[in-house]
Structure formats: C-alpha cells, structure tokens
Structure 1
Amino acid sequence: MFIRLIVCVFALICSNVAWSGVVAQSTRLVIHSTSQEFSLSLKNLNSYPVLVQTWIDHGEADTGPDEADPSFVVLPPIFKMNSGDMQNLRILYLPERKPSDRELLYWLNVLEVPPSTQNMDEEAAKLVVTMRTQLKVFVRPPNLTIKPDTALTMLDWQVSQVANACKLSVRNPGPYHVSFAYLEYADGPETQRLDAGMLMPFGDATFDLPACPGVQGALVRFAAIDNSGNPREHSVTIEGYESAAASLQSTAPMHH
C-alpha cells in the first residue's frame, strides 16, 4: 500500500515494522475542485476496538488536528470502531483561492488509539500500537486539460556530466504530481535503484549516477502510481549526455 505510516506510541514492545489496523478502501483520493463532498470507507482489521481521529493537513509528521487545513471538514472527526467494524467518512471540500494551474496535494490523517491492554491476552497486547496513517488527497482544478497519463510522456529525462561525475535529471513540465513506486537506471548489465519519491508539478529532481552512459545509451525504468493506486511501469531510453529520448513504453498496472 502506498501510504505513509507513523508509529506514534508503542504500548508494550518496539518493532521495526508496523502496519495500520484501520485500513482505507483506497490508498489515495483524487477529487475535482468542482466537487464539494466525497467519501471514503474505513475498516478496523484489529482484533480489538480502537478510537479513531481524522483530519486533513499538509502532511507534516509532527502536526495534529489543531493544524488541520480549513479547506476540508472530515465527518465524523472522532469515532470508535470495534473489531471488524466499517466506517464511512464524509469529506467536505470548501475551496479557497489557490493556484489553478496545477494539482494540489493534501494528506488525510487517520489516527487509531488502542484501548488499555489490561483485558487483552498476551499475544494481542504485544501488537497494540498507536498508529497514524496518512493518505494522499489530490485536488484537481477544472482547467487542467492534459490527462495524467499524457503528463507522464512529457517528463524530460537528461544525463549531464559535471567534472568526472554524471547525474540523471528529470523535469516535470506538467500540472500533476508524479509518485514513483521505484526508479532504476540501467547501463548495460549494471542496474542502479535510485531513491525517488514524488515529483512536484513543474518541478525537477537530480540523481547521482555511478557512471556516464556508454555508447549504446542507457535505460531508465520507473513505475508511477495511477489514480487507482496501482503502479504503472514505463521505460525511457537515454542517448548521450545531453538529451533524453525518445521512446516511452508502458505496461498494464501491477497489483500488490
């Protein structure tokens, strides 16, 4: 799932891996600024009840509901979920005067607080943690004429040599965020996984490469997350040091 998880408080043990027990029907929300209300379903997969608090902000990990963005109202803001319960959230969007030439990004926070562990068996108590899940909320102004899939073909990839080092750069001339599931640079038999996250609208990013492309060129492979939360694989051929090329190839979405 392509969501952000923040472990807030550990009840009994500290673990390197933690999974949210309250899950959403989708890993992201895409809304149009002309819409004023949309919904999202949650389900409690924990074996115990939890108290849930929800709000929308700009994604900072150290902020709380007191700093929620006033453009949104999430109903109900606080509620209890027993094990196996489902809860439908109503999210009201109150548009403000914001840039209309690009997609806007917010984060839906779902904070789950477990009960006291006194009445739990030992195995259940070991897994009790306070979790905060953050899901991306994309707001799209009505005047964006380019489709998201088309925007991916507009990405400008280039390799440049600075002193004795080569760098891969990508420029996003489109109005949408590009969320990378992965990004790889392949030159002959050598493949390097690059640390790529999200490319902002009209933004750019640069990555260090182990070597400059050979005479046969190099290949950039990446997967971008679509509206449904599925990674779609693409590849771009890099020819030479100055221009990116050329052929963008897509495959069907990968399901996880």
Structure 2
Amino acid sequence: MPVQRKHNLFFIQTLSTLFMLFLVLLSAPVKASIVITGTRVIYSQGERSVSVKLNNNGKSPVLIQSWVDDGVMSKSPDTSTAPFIVTPPINRVDPGKGQTLQISFTGKQLPSDKESVFWLNVLEVPARNSSKKDDNFLQIAFRTRIKLFYRPQTLEGKSIEAPDKLEWKTVDGKLQAINKTPWNVSLSGVKANGKKTEGKMIAPFDAELFPLQVRHGQTIHFDVVNDYGAVTEKSAAVQ
C-alpha cells in the first residue's frame, strides 16, 4: 500500500507540473508577424482604390488572406457581403518584406448622408516547416481587423470638426454623448471625476452611454482618435 500511495503521489505531482507548464505556455506573449500600417482605412467616394501597406516583422514567411466585412466577425471571405474587393486576396509575405493591398469599391448603393463603417481583415497563417512535417505541432493563425470608413463626397463639414460638436448630457446620472454629425467619432477613453472608462465609436446621428456619474455643468474629458490614428484629448461641459 505505501508503494501504491507513492505512485499515486508521483502521478498527481506530474499532472500538476504539466498543468502549470500548460498555463505558462498559454500566458507566454505571442505576437502576429504581420503589421498593418495605420489603424484605419479612409475610402473617399470617387476613388478607384485605396492602398494598405503590410509588413512581415517576423522571422518566417507567412500566408495571408485579406477581405472586408460589414462588422460581423463570423463572416468569412465567402459569406461577406461588404461592397469591397481586396487584391491580392491571398498571398505570401517573406520575413522582412512587405505587401500592398489594393481595396476597391464595387459600387453598391450606400447612404450618401453619412459615413458607413466596414472592417478590413488580415488573416495570417505561419508557414509550416517542411522538415518537421511528420511532427505534432500547434499552428496559430492571427486575425487582425481595422475599421474602414466609406466617406461620401456630399457630407457637410470636416471629420476633424465632429468631436467638438458632440453634445454631452446626463441621463439617469450617467454620461451620454450625442453625435448629430454625419461623421463617425472614435473615442479611446472618457474621464470624469477622476475616473476613466473605455471609449466607444459614436455613429452618425446616434448616441452612446458611458458608465460615469456626472452632473449638469461639469467638465468631462475625452480622447479622440483621428483619421491617422493619433489621439487628442478634448474637454466639454455636460449640458
């Protein structure tokens, strides 16, 4: 019996060690090799196409697949109905090299009185080492998504002016931002009373609530992300 207990103890210790090793592997930092230049794509009406630059900062070649969706992450390139074509849709990028994607609008009718939002997807699959084709291995695919804004020519004003036109109000003690412009306003954070909450994108002619307790006349601060991905802090009074 003592021998049996010793074996059981060894078995339990081995399982614990393997489990801890598994957790360490899961928590280890894993990064995508492909880096997209820019944090958003602006597609102005009338342009034949827009370019997006990719770079492979990794040490191995990767295969990438690129497509645009309408915001539903579960949609694949085959099921997406977004009116954009990405060229090339599939290609290989060697380490230290780059690739330029061309995004073209198919001409589908979109609202002319406001911006429309879509998402550019870049799926990255590392190349498999042919010398280890018979070995068991874990292959991780990375998917990067950035927003694509379709911008009609007929919009009044400028996108850079939209954040200053937000109306801030209190609704049941919470902070509400109202966007009465035709532009999407992207906020990376909102702060009031020394507390900060995550930002949101406020769609044209829409509003968003933030979990911050505010009162009339109080000054709040918010971080705006512009067309180039730069962040600027602004302030406004709660109406």
- Give TM-score, length-normalised by structure 1: 0.76
Looking at both structures, which has the greater relative contact order when contacts are Cα pairs under 8 Å and sequence separation is at least 6?
1
Aligned to 1:59: 71
> 2:207 — aligned with what?
204
The verdict on how the C-alpha distance between 1:17 and 1:178 changes in structure 2, with shifts beyond 3 A counting, is: farther
The Cα shift of 1:130 comes to: 1.1
Answer yes or no: is 1:155 the counterpart of 2:157.
Answer: no
Shift of 1:68: 2.7
When the two chains are superposed, the root-mean-square deviation of aligned CA atoms in Å is: 2.3
The amino acid across from 1:140 in the alignment is R
Q: Bigger shift: 170-179 or 151-160?
A: 151-160
Structure 1: state its 5+ residue gaps.
Answer: 1-11, 244-256
Task: Point out the structure with the larger strand share.
Answer: 1
Contact 2:36-2:53 at 8 Å conserved across structures:
yes
Give SS of 1:66's match: coil
Decide which of 173, 176, 184 is 1:177's aligned counterpart: 184
Cα deviation, 1:174-194, whole Å, max 9, x if unaligned, reads: 1111111111112xxxx1112
C-alpha spacing 1:230/1:119, structure 2 compared with 1 (3 Å): farther
Distance (whole Å) between structure 2 residues aligned to residue 68 and residue 119 of structure 1 = 36
Q: Which runs of 5+ in 2 are unaligned?
A: 1-23
Q: Please state if 1:87 is matched with 2:96.
A: no
Q: What is the alpha-carbon distance in structure 2 between the residues aligned to residue 152 and residue 17 of structure 1?
A: 36
State the 1:132 CA deviation.
Answer: 0.3
Label 1:82 to 1:156 Cα distance change in 2 as closer, same or farther (>3 A): same
Count of aligned positions: 212
What is the 5 A alignment of 1:191-230? Answer: 191-210=194-213, 212-213=214-215, 217-230=217-230
Q: Distance in 1 between matches of 2:237 and 2:115?
A: 28
Larger Rg: 2
Shift in CA distance, 16/139, structure 1 to aligned 2, threshold 3 Å: farther
Which whole-Å CA distance do the structure 2 matches of 1:18 and 1:61 have between them? 21
Distance 1:16 1:201, change over 3 A: farther
